[in-house]
Amino acid sequence: MFVKVSIKFFFFKLFLNFGASRVNHITVFMKNNDEILNLFEHYLGQLQLPKEPQRLYEPIIYSMSGGGKRLRPVLLLLCCEAFGGDATAALSAAAAVEMFHNFTLLHDDIMDNAAVRRGKPSVQARWGENVAILSGDTMMIYSYKLLSQIPSEKLPMVMEVFTSMALQVCEGQQYDMDFEERQQVSVVDYMQMIELKTAALLAGSATIGAILGGASAADCRKVYRFAQELGLAFQLQDDLLDSYGDERLGKKIGGDILEGKKTCLMLNAMSRATEEDRDILRHTHLDTTLSDEEKILRVKEVYNRYDIQRVIEQQISLRFDKALSVLDDLSIDGDSAEHLRVFARSLMGRKK
């Protein structure tokens, strides 16, 4: 089977060399989203991390094999293939963004004192904080090691995108922590924060894939915007589902409300509410006379008074539609665009 693909690929290269433009023939070689995911999981499974020191590398293997949806590497590989690149040659870069993402989880879990990650004990809960710090550091460095395995002529540009993305994630995390202590946070502040903390990583991953696939600078910018809008929609939906999700899907509702988190729901409600309702929004989670259920109910009553669910749903749709509209404007064939659309839909996909 591999031989067959290789021969096909040989003819395809020949065909390209004759200067034909990019046409539907590419689709013969394109992988669909499941194939991309399988390819990536197979690569990760074969990745040889050092064995020693055990307490440094064991938590890394635990973290990297702990599931997760592999959104960022899959998006990177899809974008690479969309521009005619070979996903196989981009696997180390895909692993780099996944390793980086998992590094942020290790350190975020220390900062949030989170005991559980993906249904299992977090690294800091299982091995302690010092191990989580140092294994996290190692993962971040290792992500650069993986990244530097790409063709050297593309390394400077990819490094720039990766490093800029990584700094934005740190800045977003800092703003997120700052917001907890700040009295006044606007909806605009919040959108800028999630653009850094959540959207930058998707946008950077997509752009690295596009660069590796050979996209033009103009297309790289568009791919960035596509993934950025998608990332914003994704985060807004994440906030929405925390208060309005379907309990039957096993997710507990109201965690953000009980923590008094400044989510997009809270901030949009604050910007619309009367002073009296604002007081409810500000103080309900601190009210020790109320049960958890009563707190959630009381805050959601205020949300409902200002139709916050619909407001956020509209914002999500706006972002999502913007993301998809950028796709129509890319110099890629129809099947590639469809793969990216499938990805975008599945990302948002708790409700199809």
- Alpha-carbon span 82 to 332, nearest angstrom: 6
- Alpha-carbon span 95 to 124, nearest angstrom: 22
- Alpha-carbon span 111 to 108, nearest angstrom: 5
Q: Tell the smallest beta-carbon distance from residue 220 to its own copies (Å).
A: 18
Evaluate whether 67 touches 116 at the Cβ level (below 8 Å).
no
CA distances from 187 to 121, 190, 243 (A): 33, 5, 18
Please name the helix (run of DSSP H) or strand (run of DSSP E) that holds residue 145, with its range, or none: helix 129-147
Work out the burial of residue 250: count CB atoms within 10 Å of its CB; fewer than 13 is exposed, 13-18 middle, 19 or more buried: exposed
Nearer to its own copies, 180 or 287 (CB): 180
Nearer to its own copies, 27 or 148 (CB): 148
Closest CA to 83 of 202, 201, 216, 228: 216
Binding residues for its own copies, rule: CB under 8 A, are 50, 52-53, 55-56, 107, 110-111, 130, 133-134, 136-138, 140-142, 144-145, 148, 152, 155-156, 159-160, 163-164, 166-167, 170-171, 173-175, 177-178
Q: Tell the smallest beta-carbon distance from residue 159 to its own copies (Å).
A: 5
Q: Tell the smallest beta-carbon distance from residue 262 to its own copies (Å).
A: 15
Nearer to its own copies, 143 or 228 (CB): 143
Please name the helix (run of DSSP H) or strand (run of DSSP E) that holds residue 22, with its range, or none: none
Nearer to its own copies, 106 or 269 (CB): 106
Nearer to its own copies, 110 or 308 (CB): 110
Q: In terms of residues, how long is the chain?
A: 352
Q: Tell the smallest beta-carbon distance from residue 157 to its own copies (Å).
A: 9
- Other beta carbons less than 10 A from residue 48's beta carbon: 5
Our CA angle for 286, 292, 297, nearest 5°, is 95
Nearer to its own copies, 163 or 274 (CB): 163
Q: Tell the smallest beta-carbon distance from residue 131 to its own copies (Å).
A: 8
Nearer to its own copies, 139 or 210 (CB): 139
Closest CA to 36 of 341, 343, 328, 324: 343
Q: Tell the smallest beta-carbon distance from residue 97 to its own copies (Å).
A: 14
Q: Which residues contact 300 (CB under 8 A, 6 or more apart)?
A: 243, 254, 257
DSSP string, 198-267: IIHHHHHHHHHHHHHHT--HHHHHHHHHHHHHHHHHHHHHHHHHHHHS-GGGTPPS-HHHHHT---HHHH
Q: Tell the smallest beta-carbon distance from residue 170 to its own copies (Å).
A: 5
Q: Tell the smallest beta-carbon distance from residue 80 to its own copies (Å).
A: 20
Nearer to its own copies, 7 or 111 (CB): 111
- Alpha-carbon span 272 to 303, nearest angstrom: 10
Nearer to its own copies, 170 or 258 (CB): 170
Q: Tell the smallest beta-carbon distance from residue 218 to its own copies (Å).
A: 22
- Alpha-carbon span 230 to 278, nearest angstrom: 30
